[in-house]
Amino acid sequence: MAKFGWAYVSCTGSDDGGAYGPTGSVQFLTGAGNTSGTLNFMYHTAAYGSSYAANSLVLTGTLVVSGTISASHYHIDNVTVIDSTGSTYFGNSNDDRHIRTGSLEVAKVAGNVILRADNTTETVSVRGFRGMYTPVTAAKATASVPSYILGVSLNNNVEINIPAASTYGSGAILIIKDEVVGRGGTNIRLTASAGYNIDNSSFYILTGSNPAISLYSNGANWFVF
């Protein structure tokens, strides 16, 4: 059985069986028993310039791989096309940010666009929308980010605390709906957090048959619309 191992190749040139190229170059067979290297394919055992740490293999040019590349970290510049199949995952913590410039589309395989963020018109369009729904079943409740719709199903007096407008942020929308058919004289009281208002009032009361209210935040206060 043939056995293979590592061999030291001297880079001192010779007429027969010599190895050529700059120090640190990765050798390749050129013919006639000779090997050579190039500055385009280098292995640096020590730090090189400001770009490469010690023990870096540096290729200048194109790399073609027919198998699989496994790495613990990728740093990719100047990507023109990404063509991927299967699931992809980005980020591993809640403070990760993934920033892109240009428009974005999410579409089904059949071609129906589900979501489009248009960089030219600065608009977002969706095929259908479903906001977060929070049921209110207790006499006291507090809306919290990212609640969008609060449905009150308790047949009794209910008080809902509306958080600071700055907590939800400018442009946020909050909808409260009475889901009880006959409230029998009870009401739903919306109370603004200390220092904030709802249409210049510290509270707002919903009465009548199945009332609803829509609020938006300008970052400083809440307003009815």
Report yes or no on 37 lying in a domain: yes
The pLDDT, as a whole number, for residue 2 is 57
189 neighbors 150 (Cβ within 8 angstroms): no
How far apart CA 35 and CA 39 sit, in angstroms, is 14
Residues 141 and 213 in one domain: yes
pLDDT band at 1 (very low <50, low <70, confident <90, very high): low
Pairing, β 158-162 against β 140-142: parallel
pLDDT in tens, 39-82: 999 999 999 888 888 999 999 999 999 999 898 887 777 878 88
Residue 51: what are its φ and ψ, rounded to 5°?
-105, -30
198 neighbors 163 (Cβ within 8 angstroms): no
Nearest to 135 by CA among 177, 190, 187: 177
Q: Which residue among 114, 129, 144 closes a domain?
A: 129
The residue type at 92: N
220 neighbors 191 (Cβ within 8 angstroms): no
Report yes or no on 87 lying in a domain: no
How far apart CA 41 and CA 7 sit, in angstroms, is 19
For 169-190, give one letter per residue: b (16+ CB within 10 A) or e: eeebebbbbbebeebeebebbb
Q: Which residue among 113, 129, 145 closes a domain?
A: 129
> Cβ atoms within 10 A of the Cβ of 20, count?
16
Rounded to 5 degrees, what angle do the CA atoms 161, 164, 170 make?
130
Total domain count for the chain? 3
pLDDT band at 123 (very low <50, low <70, confident <90, very high): very high
pLDDT in tens, 152-199: 999 999 999 999 999 999 999 999 999 998 888 899 999 999 999 999
Q: Which residue among 85, 111, 129 closes a domain?
A: 129
The pLDDT, as a whole number, for residue 4 is 55
Structural domain containing residue 184: 133-224
The domain spanning residue 218 has which CATH number? Answer: 2.60.120
Share of the chain above pLDDT 70, in %: 92
Helices (H), ranges, 11-74: none
Report yes or no on 12 lying in a domain: yes
Report yes or no on 94 lying in a domain: no
Report yes or no on 72 lying in a domain: no
Rounded to 5 degrees, what angle do the CA atoms 27, 28, 29 make?
130
pLDDT band at 31 (very low <50, low <70, confident <90, very high): confident
How far apart CA 178 and CA 189 sit, in angstroms, is 11
